Structure 1
């Protein structure tokens, strides 16, 4: 079974840019977005994905992600409600990969970083540019942002 263990942080400044690679444009929508499960369609760069996630317990949830033809992903996005648009940057920090998202569209102004862990108690170094942790705040889940965008808070 696929498991996702993830911690999320708001980003305080732009000092991360010196560590970042090329960003990938991401557009995603939710066919189902409930507390017990989500079904997400995503186009990341030139690739399409279908992802199914279970309920979050702590910072852990089941996750299953499958590549799909980008044409199918585009058609499925048309079936979704509000879309989440962002550019994702991968940043290697202290031997671990962080994903930093700069949101666009209805979530303009939100910049968030996340790190995926092997276990909930795994130690890692928080970069200087990472601020407040928001792992437990559902407002920062992308499924929630698709329904109640950051610009409406």
Structure 2
């Protein structure tokens, strides 16, 4: 079984922008947002994927991702009630790749850094721009953001 082990953080400054190696626009929708399982469809640049994720257990969860034709993904996105629009920026530090998602549309203003790890105990770099960890805060799950956008949160 494929397992995703991921930490998620807010960003504390714009300093990460100087370290970006690649940026890609992503459209992402959810066919199922049940906490026990999510089913996501995503276009990422000129590629597309269907992903099934299990329930979180700490910072780990089952994840199965499959490449699909872009035309199929675009049709499936039409079935999604809300589609996230974001730009994913990659920042490589000491052999680790931070995926920094800069949200647009109803989630504009939210920037989240994600880091996949080999184990829950793995150490990782902590650059000065890395802010508070929000790994366990369900509000920051992309599936939750599709239903309750950042712009509608009571600050």
TM-score in terms of structure 2 length: 0.97
Matches within 5 A, 1:2-151: 2-151=2-151
Q: CA deviation at 1:126?
A: 1.2
2:22 aligns to what SS in structure 1? coil
1:23 aligns to what SS in structure 2? strand
Cα deviation code 1:11-50 (max 9, x no counterpart): 1111111110231000000000111000000000111100
1:146 aligns to what SS in structure 2? helix
Cα deviation code 1:77-128 (max 9, x no counterpart): 0000111110001110122111001000110000000100010000111111
Tell me how far apart the structure 1 counterparts of residues 125 and 22 of structure 2 sit (CA, whole Å): 23
Unpaired runs of 5+ in structure 1?
A: none
Query: Over aligned residue pairs, what C-alpha RMSD do you find?
Result: 0.6
Displaced runs of 4 or more, over 2 A: none
Aligned residues: 153
Tell me how far apart the structure 2 counterparts of residues 109 and 143 of structure 1 sit (CA, whole Å): 17
Tell me how far apart the structure 2 counterparts of residues 80 and 55 of structure 1 sit (CA, whole Å): 20
Tell me how far apart the structure 2 counterparts of residues 101 and 144 of structure 1 sit (CA, whole Å): 15
Cα deviation code 1:56-89 (max 9, x no counterpart): 0000000000000001000000000111110001
